[in-house]
Amino acid sequence: MSTVLPNLKVLNLNYNYFTSLEGLSNMINLRKLTVVGCRLGGREKGIVKSLKGLSSLEELDLRYVFLLVL
């Protein structure tokens, strides 16, 4: 996603099901990410690793996020 929307600053992914957040890891201009009410599949460590690449991230909203262990 980072190659298609390189200047994206705000992303709302609320109430969706994703198997991972890997596509976000290179979005260096992303400042706000909301994933409220999402059911994330995969492993907790993989989700944290994906968020580490978001160097400009200022606000992260993970309310009501459920981790589905696959």
d(CA 60, CA 34): 6
Contact between residue 1 and residue 29 where contact means Cβ atoms under 8 Å apart: no
Q: For position 56, what pLDDT does the model report?
A: 94
Is pLDDT of 66 > 70? Answer: yes
**Cβ density class 17-30: b for 16+ within 10 Å, e for less:** ebeebeebbebeeb
Residue ranges of domains in the chain: 10-68
Backbone φ, ψ for residue 9 (5° rounding): -110, -30
Per-residue pLDDT tens digits for 4-44: 888 999 999 999 887 678 888 889 999 999 999 888 776 66
